Amino acid sequence: MMRADERKSQAIQWLMILCGALLALLVMQANAMDQNTIAIGVISPKDGSSLVLAGESHEESIRLAFDHLGPLQVGNLQIKLKLIPWNDNGKPEMAAEGAARLVHEDHAVAILGPVNSGSTKETLQRLRNEQIELPVISAMSTAPELTRSEGRDKNFFRLIFDDADRMGQYATFIKQEKGKAGEQQFLFLYEDNPYGAGLKNSLKDRFYTPNVTALSWPETRSKDCVNPQGNRYATDFEAFRSGQCFTAEFIKLLDDANINNIVLLGETAGSLALVNGLRVAVNDLKFDYFFVGSSKRLFDEAPVGSLTIGDPVLDYQRTSTAELEHNWRKLLGEFEERAKKDRADFMMTAYEAALVLHSALRLVLNGHHELPQPHALRQKLLHVLESETFDSLEPWRNISFSQGDLNQIPTAPIYRITRGVTREDPLNLHPWVHISVDPYNPWLETPIEVQLNAHGVESGKLAVYRVDPLSNHEHLIEDRPVKFSAGKATERFHLFERGLYHFKMLDVPFYPALTETHVDLSNTYLISACAALVGALLAVSRAAATIWTWLIRLPAGVAAGLLLTFSSFYGQQISGWLPIPSFGSEPVVNAMLTGLLGGLLGPHTMTDLLLAWARRLLPGKSA
């Protein structure tokens, strides 16, 4: 008999074996999940940075987009997209370190971010040094040098205008605002970093008057300034806000140069600190202030009457359709609920960056039966981002890149701060066409029907392209003019070759950018062939026939059934006077009955017809 302690020892051993097996199974499942997961890095400044609000909004807008997007499919596998955040604290060196970790440890295939241009520059430099090919898609980095031809990094793609584009628009507006007021003196106060310096250079190069003095923020501040307790201020922004730390030279400049306007070129917290300090230091002087940014804090704290040029925004009051207005309201409301922030903090370009990356991944993975390795995915993503067109939240503007820059930049809104915030930039009605087509169409059953809804367009040209399955290159099949009636049109294309087709407007913006249909076999012709074979068997079996007669007449009956089915499908699309039999609009019923009818008539009618033609073409021969 086994002793009790031996039985106990065996039970523990079996329990350990069972636990080990379960643990191994869990590890195998985790590895399998990892193999079906694509990692995407998100670099944003959060705690420890003055850009914390921008960083949080950046990440939340991206997460919201991926929550709205469907899973990716590779063969029979659904691919999970895993977002891996990295807080760079707004420091370029931390952004670069984060990028390296995301590549080497997390095997990320792309990075969304960084937010500020300095961090983006350092990140790209680190990737260059390590010879890493990896898409870096920034929604907020506006420094022009990031995409200059001599300095553009092939890894970089910008989802926003650069400083030159935005400041050019600002310069034009300020001229309209101030140009008629006589001689005006401007002071540009810019943050001493790539972002602030880029804004200053871009605006000064395009400004309408040479009456400009430019100072960096540190140049206005006394270095030995202390608070009333005799201690140094914890931050430069606190020193600015006190109004006690400006240099005597700076205060004298404000008076002697007869400054009328102050333009704050930097992030919101520093700009507001400077303005609050100026109110304390020179409260007997009145300036008109110009800011850059569109956060809720700026709207709440900037002096009433100030002007600011913001980042791209979803302004539902400027939409062209009620449906689009509803969709934008819903999106902004969901952002407020999820992020616990004001809808003014929603980052449209960050959301669009997620849309673009998701679409690019779908294009890269199309046709694959297993997930490629990360390095292969990165290289293919770079090619797709450079060559394809993607959807924007604004349907009149497609997203495509040229040397990393957007071909169609979003609007930079200009606001007058009135505690009710009023848009001052003109309302531009953008023409565009919405294209819709069924994603799958059965082969040889019906013409492909394309529905078009025009907004601000009376006519255009619609083209259809066939996509080569091997090279993925598009080949133009047909283009035709389209005239809209009450903003609507329907075009039908007879596409007799199986495959993937794309539809595009050639002369006006269209949405969605990837409007496509797959033309492929359905079961209706198989049903027709089966019904035709039954009909042909019935027709041939009613009379004595040799095996050769059967071999000739049965295929003729099936062919007649298929031909009659094809004529019936297309007969419903053309003039009703043609004597083509049809049995309703239900494809299966129509295929079955036309196939049976063709099978009954074809073995004799078609065969006799062919034999008669053969005798006429080949005299002296008999069948």
Give yes or no for residue 308 having a pLDDT over 60.
yes
281: number of Cβ within 10 Å: 18
Mean pLDDT of the chain: 86
Q: C-alpha 437: how far from its chain's center?
A: 20
Strand pairing category for 307-309 and 414-416: antiparallel
Q: What is the pLDDT of residues 522-548, one digit of tens each?
A: 888 888 888 878 887 887 777 666 676
| Main-chain dihedrals φ then ψ at residue 15, nearest 5 degrees | -65, -40
Residues 354-382, mean pLDDT to the nearest whole number: 93
Please write the tens of the pLDDT for every residue from 403-414.
Answer: 999 999 998 999
Average pLDDT over residues 312-338: 93
Q: Is pLDDT above 60 for 595?
A: yes
For residue 140, the SS3 value is coil
pLDDT bin (cut points 50, 70, 90) of residue 594 is confident
Helix axes 524-541, 547-571, angle to 10 degrees: 140
Task: Please give the single-letter amino acid code of residue 512.
Answer: P
Distance CA 343, CA 346 (A): 5
Give the burial string for 42-56 (b: 16+ CB within 10 Å, else e).
Answer: bbbbbeebbbbbbbb
- Cα separation, 154 vs 134, in Å, equals 9
Q: Which of the two residues, 455 and 150, has the higher pLDDT score?
A: 455
pLDDT(307) > 70: yes
> Is 621's pLDDT higher than 60?
no
- Residue 620 is predicted with a pLDDT of 54
For the cut 70, the answer to whether the pLDDT of residue 623 exceeds it is no
Q: Above 80 in pLDDT, residue 612?
A: no
First to last CA, the chain: 95
pLDDT at 183 over 60: yes
Provide the 3-class DSSP secondary structure of residue 500. strand
Q: What is the pLDDT of residue 617?
A: 65
pLDDT of residue 563: 83
Q: Which residue has the higher pLDDT, 568 or 247?
A: 247
pLDDT, tens digit, for every residue of 223-263?
Answer: 889 888 888 888 889 999 999 999 999 999 998 888 999 99
Give the bridge partners for 138, in sequence order. 158
- Per the CB < 8 A criterion, the answer to whether 388 and 381 are in contact is no
Structure confidence at residue 27 as a pLDDT band (50, 70, 90): very low
What does pTM read for this prediction?
0.81
Specify the pLDDT at position 102. 97
Pick the residue with more confidence: 4 or 236? 236
Looking at per-residue pLDDT, the higher value among 567 and 543 belongs to 567
Determine the residue type at 21: A
Average pLDDT over residues 98-123: 95
Beta-bridge partner residues of 78? 73
Report phi then psi at 448, rounded to 5. -75, 120
Q: Each residue of 445-483: pLDDT tens digit? A: 888 999 999 999 999 999 999 999 887 789 999 999 999
What digits encode the pLDDT tens for the residues 250-305? 999 998 888 999 999 998 999 999 999 999 998 767 899 999 998 888 999 999 99
Three-state secondary structure call for residue 242: helix
Q: What is the mean pLDDT of residues 501-510?
A: 95
Residue 367, sorted as left (phi over 0), alpha (psi -120 to 50) or beta, turns out to be: left
Query: What pLDDT, on a 0 to 100 scale, did the predictor assign at position 328?
Result: 96
Q: Is the pLDDT of residue 325 over 90?
A: yes
Radius of gyration of the chain (CA): 34
Domains identified in the chain and CATH numbers: 33-160+325-399 (3.40.50.2300), 163-309 (3.40.50.2300), 432-520 (2.60.40.10), 524-617 (no CATH)
Q: Which residue has the higher pLDDT, 129 or 50?
A: 129
* Among 127-136, 336-345, 418-427, 440-449, the range of highest mean pLDDT: 127-136
Higher pLDDT among residues 584 and 69, named by residue: 69
What is residue 529's predicted lDDT score, i.e. its pLDDT? 83
